[in-house]
Chains A and B, each alone.
Chain A
């Protein structure tokens, strides 16, 4: 019997956790960063699609924690350990953080892609989660798909061939 592989869609400022038979996918990452954290043995993985680097940027008290790099990664860890992943074995793959627009004078918002990538890396380092692979920066949008069975991250861009990291 073959089992159908399901696709779980992760939206903007969204976060999902899945086990083995479901792939995780998020489309049209520009300056946003897609973060995958996974446990290769338990075939458990989670994906977050963050927009902004730091929850302290929020101008309102109540926030969507999945929108910011720092809080989304914290929540991803909690959700992963709830679904049986071993936190000591977790690894990460990240993609996105492009700089889609260039204007002079450059505003802080223009640099949001690189700032998102820095914030994601900083948070992962502080939690001692190794970054196994990454495809970040540049000037192109990305659509990414993670397969928990193989721990492979497929990355589509408009002008380049699909790559697997």
Chain B
């Protein structure tokens, strides 16, 4: 006799953190993503001397499993630049690229057409180029956010990882996981307007404010923290 058992989730109620957010507040967060990524897209466009487009950002309430699968599967290898945000509204920010896209950016930036992330010899310069790219993009994202909110926000030194998306993005969920089982994902996609196919998404920004930073952000943007 085969007895089938799957684990049952125990009943729990920890939705209060997420339930609190109103439609207006989510719209404000969308605008935050919009302005931040708009500036980052402009910076990237100057850096690579080509046109860069942008997706209308999305703000989603998602389970942790859904969050780590937004840029592919949890197991998929991605190139990620992570910065800790410090200052008035701490949090974390990821800039995520597919390995071919990261290679293409580095080739444009360094002029080395043979660069691959699998060649350890050329990795040194590639790592520097990718970190600098992440630094510039996140810097312009944060500057825009800081101008908008009049809050002091500054990025840490960027950390570059080439690893499974789940292993990387779950780190951004840790602070949130102390109060909630869902995440608010402020996601923006950069695109290549010359390429009309679906593959044209060039990068994803994910902004994860720490749980306590939401009230600070809403207050600074003139939205009541509780409604």
Residues of A within 8 A of B (CB): 8, 11-21, 27-32, 46, 51-52, 57-60, 62-67, 75, 79, 82-84, 98, 100-103, 109, 112, 140-143, 156, 158
Contact = CB atoms under 8 A, between A and B. Distances in A.
A104 B6 CA distance: 42
Contact of A30 (B3, B16, B156, B171): B171
A16 B175 CA distance: 25
Given A12-B170, A30-B170, A31-B174, A17 B161 contact: no
A143 B38 CA distance: 35
Contacts of A143: 74-75, 164
A60 B14 contact: yes
A103 B84 contact: yes
Interface in B82-125: 82, 84
Interface of B: 2-10, 12-14, 16-17, 63-65, 68, 73-75, 77, 82, 84, 156-157, 159, 161-168, 170-171, 173-175, 177-179, 181
A156 B77 CA distance: 12
A13 B164 contact: no
B171 A15 contact: no
18 contacts: A13-B177, A13-B181, A14-B7, A16-B6, A16-B7, A17-B6, A21-B2, A28-B68, A29-B167, A51-B177, A59-B178, A66-B7, A82-B5, A140-B167, A141-B163, A143-B74, A143-B164, A158-B164
B177 A62 contact: no
B2 A158 contact: no
Given A30-B167, A101-B159, 14 more contacts: A11-B64, A13-B177, A19-B2, A21-B2, A27-B166, A30-B168, A30-B170, A59-B179, A60-B17, A60-B179, A66-B7, A75-B10, A141-B164, A142-B167
